[in-house]
Amino acid sequence: MILSDKTLKELIKNGELVIDPIDDQSIQPASIDCRLGDHFLLLEETKMNVIDFDNEIHYREITAPSINMPPHTFLLATIQEYVKLPDDLTAFVEGRSSIGRMGLFIQNAGWVDPGFEGRITLELYNASSLPIKLEAGKRICQLVFCKMDQAAETPYQGKYQGQSKTVGSRVFQDLDKNLVKIDQ
């Protein structure tokens, strides 16, 4: 079940759901708008020949109130809001329609697990043929919350728990990476 603005306000008021900072304008009929932070990561292409699952990916860190994103480029960014989900609530990260119509695609693997706590890292792609100026504090995405049928038996405690700024891929830390064996 997707949660309404009324339910979201109640959960925030009683402390079950944490979104900080938040104001009434951020709460939409069935979502909460989140604003772009000022911390960005760009792939450091000069330090890698290939990106693979087994090695740490190198990024160039940028902290700035705005950044111009060239056409057809990818970067990581974070939201300003600190989010803490209870064990019986999950959220989808969705781009805002007005932002998508500019050619900016927003993703975060689309999902925030119950029990997650921290600032959400966004994956951004400029599909436009023109640069897009990104400014900290602008509404960039929205969180759509869903109530689970019961609390998670094992809430999220993964490798991105507690992140306070943009975090690059940590796929190289996956415990299952050595378990896949393919007979040849």
Catalytic residues: 123
Q: Tell me the HSE value of 15 on the side-chain side, using a 13 A CA sphere.
A: 0
Written as one letter, the residue type at 10 is E
Q: Cα–Cα distance between 181 and 179 in angstroms, integer?
A: 6
Q: Which residues contact 23 (CB under 8 A, 6 or more apart)?
A: none
130's tokens: 């023109």
At residue 79, the 3 state secondary structure works out as: strand
B/e letters for 129-165, b = 16+ CB within 10 Å, e = fewer, are eeebebebeebbbbbbbeeeeeebeebbeeebeebeb
